Amino acid sequence: MTKHGHLAEFLQARRGQLRPQDVGLQTYGERRRVPGLRREELAMLAGISAPYYTRLEQGQSRNASREVLDAVASALRLDESERAHLHTLARTPRRSRAAGRPPVERVPPATSALLAAIEGTPAVVIGRRSDVLAWNRPGHGLFAGHLDPDSPDDPGRRPNMARLVFLDAHTRELYSDWPAKARAVVGNLRLTAGRFPDDPLLAALIGELAMHSPEFATMWADHRIQACDVADYEMRHPLAGTLAVTQQTLQSPQGCGPSLVVATAAPGSPSATALTLLVHTTAPRESTRPRHGTETRTT
């Protein structure tokens, strides 16, 4: 993050991605030092003064009204998720003191009960930094069968979905359209960083990914926002084969606490059959030893 903050970074990046011809501006063949819109051009499209927009982009005017922010969002051609993100960034106060280490995330009892109730459907509980807080057997088998199934129980060993998508070869091969999955992960991390700009663990994760994955660094610099509510993916699973799944992210209306990611397939489809087989494969096997109180008869 620059000294001007997340809001300034977002505005600068998205302005730089708009070309004059994208918004109907004539350049008359003039030579431009940068391909994106100039500040005064963006201000004109938003109907505000250039000096005011400059202060906004430099992080010097954080009390912009909703109407001004909506005008800037329209000028930048933002979609609904990006518009909401812009408002979130504008409302975020500046850091007043060093942030302490966040508490360890835990799975609420209600979420644990829900996870147990859908044991026949692959599901994973994800924390706000994309840490895996819990999963059921099919969820572990579908998303990370190569990892220790008990790893989410230990906060020090918890898998991280963003880290897996970018740095784990198995997970990378799992998605036929890996770039689409990667962009969704980055877009969701952008939303989280906007809501929790002072989270040191989130900042450390982003720094680690940017350092070890050039693809992440490039996608992160785009400032693209993507709410991962519902997404369709083709997965190439080592046991279930190729299957098309819909990943749905369920979260509390307040937007706080962990989210539940559920994978389903179209009823009656080959993918649904493959998921059913995966569920049976990952189901606990009954012991073949005699139960307590019974005898093994021989003849």
pLDDT per residue over 228-285, tens digit each?
789 999 999 999 999 999 999 988 766 667 999 999 999 999 999 999 999 998 877 6
Distance, CA of 249 to chain centre:
10
Matching CATH number, 109-282, of 3.40.50.2000, 3.40.50.150, 3.30.450.180, 3.40.50.300: 3.30.450.180
Q: Residue 134 has which token pair?
A: 């819990």
Residue 18: what pLDDT? 83
DSSP character for 23?
A: G
Distance, CA of 10 to chain centre:
17
Residue pair 244/269 in contact (Cβ under 8 Å)? The answer is yes
Q: The domain at 6-91 falls in which architecture?
A: Orthogonal Bundle (1.10)
Query: Which strands, in side-by-side order, build the sheet including 230-237?
Result: 132-135, 123-126, 259-264, 241-250, 230-237
Residue 55: what pLDDT? 87
Residue 206 CB coordination number (10 Å) = 22
Residue 227: what pLDDT? 74
What mean pLDDT is reported for the chain? Answer: 85
pLDDT per residue over 103-118, tens digit each?
889 999 989 999 999 9
Say yes or no to pLDDT of 170 above 90: yes
Q: Residue 77 has which token pair?
A: 């051609």
| Distance from C-alpha of 199 to C-alpha of 39, rounded to nearest angstrom | 31
Give me the residue spans of the domains in the chain: 6-91, 109-282
Backbone angles phi, psi at 107, to 5 degrees: -90, 120
Say yes or no to pLDDT of 97 above 90: no
Residue in 198, 202, 173, 179 with CA at minimum distance from that of residue 189: 202
- pTM, full prediction: 0.81
| Distance from C-alpha of 73 to C-alpha of 248, rounded to nearest angstrom | 27
Percent of all residues in the chain with a pLDDT value above 70, rounded to a whole number: 86
Q: 200-212 and 178-195 helices cross at what angle (nearest 10)?
A: 150
In this structure, the chain runs to a length of 299
Say yes or no to pLDDT of 3 above 70: no
| Distance from C-alpha of 73 to C-alpha of 67, rounded to nearest angstrom | 10
